[in-house]
């Protein structure tokens, strides 16, 4: 089956998940270090305030904090962490599949070009994607997603002994007593 977005869906640009669990708060759109400056420039050009937090860091010493950032994340604009700042929910314009359009579609981050593909061999799609909920999987029309996934994996490949994950302290008000903030070593 060919992958194509479900008519009127914008779910992946709106809904943010807790990952790996509520302690870490909701995650944002993954931004590679090489993309950060470009995304910040695009935000300025669109007169948007964006918030980019670290996401994954590495170090050679378990007692230090990360010495290098492998990935950042762009947070949503809502208090609960949802809704990408670049999603155009106001103008009434529509994307080709009738969802809300992305203001930087041709320049969007690699993570957005990859979604909903999370593994390419074998093809594995994110089960939260609306297409996947309806059709389970697809085997066609995923070439550009696979290319983008490969680039992200190459950029994030590391043999560093210690990997750190950043807790965002962002999410639903009723969950706020579970949030932590800052860096945690992956065990």
Cβ pair 1, 137 in contact under 8 A:
yes
Which structure tokens are listed for 111? 């993570």
Q: Is 108 in the site for ligand SF4 (CB under 6 A)?
A: yes
Task: Indicate the residue among 13 and 53 with the shorter CB distance to ligand SF4.
Answer: 13
78 SS3 class: coil
Residue 72 within binding range of ligand SF4, rule CB under 6 A? no
Give strand pairing partners of 59: 162
Verify binding: residue 86, ligand SF4, rule CB under 6 A: yes
Q: Which of 80, 74, 77 is nearest to 88 (CA)?
A: 77
We find the least distance from the C-beta atom of residue 106 to ligand SF4, in angstroms, to be 10
Specify whether the CB–CB gap between 123 and 117 falls below 8 A. Answer: yes
76 binds ligand SF4 (CB under 6 A): no
Q: Which is nearer to ligand SF4, 126 or 180 (CB)?
A: 126
Q: Which residues bind ligand SF4 (CB under 6 A)?
A: 5-6, 9-13, 29, 84, 86-87, 99, 102, 104, 108-109, 112, 115-116, 129-131
């Amino acid at each position: 089956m060919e992958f194509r977005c479900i008519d009127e869906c914008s779910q992946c640009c709106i809904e943010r998940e807790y990952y790996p669990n509520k302690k870490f708060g909701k995650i944002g759109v993954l931004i590679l270090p090489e993309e950060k400056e470009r995304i910040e420039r695009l935000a300025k050009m669109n007169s948007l305030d964006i918030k980019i937090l670290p996401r994954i860091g590495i170090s050679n010493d378990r007692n230090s904090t990360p010495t290098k950032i492998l990935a950042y994340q762009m947070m949503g604009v809502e208090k609960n962490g949802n809704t990408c700042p670049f999603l155009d929910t106001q103008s009434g314009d529509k994307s080709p599949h009738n969802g809300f359009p992305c203001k930087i579609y041709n320049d969007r981050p690699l993570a957005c070009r990859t979604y909903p593909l999370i593994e390419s061999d074998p093809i594995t799609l994110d089960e939260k994607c609306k297409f996947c909920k309806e059709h389970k999987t697809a085997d066609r029309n995923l070439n550009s997603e696979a290319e983008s996934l490969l680039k992200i994996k190459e950029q994030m490949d590391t043999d560093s002994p210690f990997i750190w994950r950043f807790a965002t302290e962002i999410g639903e008000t009723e969950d706020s007593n579970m949030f932590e903030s800052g860096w945690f070593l992956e065990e």
